[in-house]
Structure 1
Amino acid sequence: MNSKLFSVLLFLTGTISITAQDNCSKFYPMNEGVSMEYTNYNKKGKVEGVSAFKVVESNNTGDATHATMAINMRDAKGKDAYSTSYKLTCSGNMVTLDYESLLPTEMMEQYGDMDIEISGNDIEIPNELTVGQNLNDANVAMKISMSGINMNMTVDMTNRKVEKKESVTTTAGTYDCFVLYSENRSKMMMANQVYPSRVWLAEGIGMVKQETYKKNGELMSSTLLTAHSK
């Protein structure tokens, strides 16, 4: 369960998409029907699965644009492995992702009527990025009470910064990207793990590439954009 949450969280730090023609977002898709496909690889470059993203709803309220993104993950054999959705908002010069949306729907259904408390800070991606720029930390925390026993889970994204600019070539094309770095800490009960990551983000496209590392810098997994449609 915790690994699923962490994987989705990493996607959401920069995953996605296409410049909206009628709202304020540069890096996130906000138009209904926009879709992206990402192929996921293990540390040896072997395909582990494919993730499909699609904007299923979009609307404007005042000076803000709100959208819902659906995610479907399939394993290497094409079998559905996991599905969820999240909400994002664009207002002014900033796109924000609701921290509660980081908690997968199937996880919430699993705990049913249990007493659950959720708190956190939204993920923010400014429309204007520059090399050396520091980005605000983000986190989500969940406290579950079961028969007098409390279970806590948190995911913290710290040391977020725009590291550099770099050109990336995939089967979908060649893109000029900003490289966003973050350190991601996952805590659940006694488990405490830290995974640095980098996301290659292109204006007008969104996430083109992502790499996740062990604490010592060794590559754990990677993701590449393999298809997108307006």
Structure 2
Amino acid sequence: MKNVLIFLIALCSTTSAVAQNCKGYYYLLENAEVEMTILDANGKPGGKTVYHVTAVRNTGGTTESDFTNTFYDKNNKAMSASTGHFKCSSNGVAIDMKVSVPVMPQMKDMKMEGTSNAALLDYPAGMHVGQELQGGTFELQGNMSGMEVGISYTISNRKVVGQESITTTAGTWNCFKITYDLNFQMKMMGKGIPMKINATEWFAPDFGAVKTASMKDGKNMGGTLITALKK
């Protein structure tokens, strides 16, 4: 169970962003890096995820980027990597949900491949407190030591509940606070292991996600926090 909780803490680090002006996003600056530290229930670092932008392009009125998503354990050892896609237009931002599914250290030998079409999570422009946001569902299929493993998760009940200022070692941002429900299930040997958590994320317009936190049955599970930026 502890290993699954570590996985879900990372899972809640869904990269998010909202704006009408796309120029401010780190995820649209070629070669930029965003370091998100994963925190356990006691607020101690348990690893980190580094997003590295590899390409940026403009298509019509949309700016798009590709980036890698590398997960490191608490000893700074790279454990897994995947790729993601980011889009920004006057309507807002959309990002691949698969980027929010890093492999936990205990599953370092697991090779995951998405079985569904790219599932995008939208963040509309002109966001405001009280607004309800669209959710999404994503599924993965993989293999671990010769055993088939399936992972699926659904984000629902997304709502903008407030605004707060967040300060980290990387800077200070005025953020929207978004809450949502996360229904997670891992299937192994034909049996499913369901779990439901309540999550919160803070993001700054024209920048992206700054902080996340998650709860299960009223207990803190941990979260993520931006700790470094490079460009």
TM range (shorter): 0.7 to 0.9
Counterpart residue number, 2:198: 196
Q: Could you tell me which amino acid in structure 1 is paired with residue 127 of structure 2?
A: L
- Count of matched residue positions in the alignment of Structure 1 and Structure 2: 218
- Give the distance between the partners of 1:120 and 1:58, measured in 2 at CA: 19
Greater RCO, CA 8 A, separation 6+: 2
Counterpart residue number, 1:122: 120
Q: Aligned match of 1:157 in 135, 143, 155?
A: 155
Aligned alpha-carbon RMSD (Å): 3.4
Counterpart residue number, 2:219: 218
Shift of 1:174: 2.5
- Give the distance between the partners of 2:65 and 2:165, measured in 1 at CA: 29
CA gap 1:79/1:29 in 2 versus in 1, 3 angstroms: same
Percent identity over paired residues: 26
Within a 5 Å distance, the mapping from 1:1-230 to structure 2 comes to 6=8, 9-14=11-16, 24=22, 29-99=27-97, 110=111, 117-119=115-117, 121-142=119-140, 153-189=151-187, 190-214=192-216, 216-230=217-231
CA gap 1:43/1:57 in 2 versus in 1, 3 angstroms: same
Asked whether the 8 Å contact 1:25–1:127 carries over to 2, the reply is no
TM score, norm. by length of structure 2: 0.78
CA gap 1:120/1:55 in 2 versus in 1, 3 angstroms: closer
Asked whether the 8 Å contact 1:35–1:54 carries over to 2, the reply is yes
> What SS does the corresponding residue of 2:133 show, helix, strand or coil?
coil
Q: Which residues of structure 1 form unaligned runs of 5+? A: 145-149
Shift of 1:99: 4.6
> What SS does the corresponding residue of 2:13 show, helix, strand or coil?
helix
Shift of 1:175: 1.9
Shift of 1:159: 0.3
> What SS does the corresponding residue of 1:48 show, helix, strand or coil?
strand
Which digits, 9 at most, give the CA deviation of each residue in 1:106-152, with x for residues without a partner? 99x9378xxx84257420011321011100011113578xxxxx975
Asked whether the 8 Å contact 1:96–1:122 carries over to 2, the reply is yes
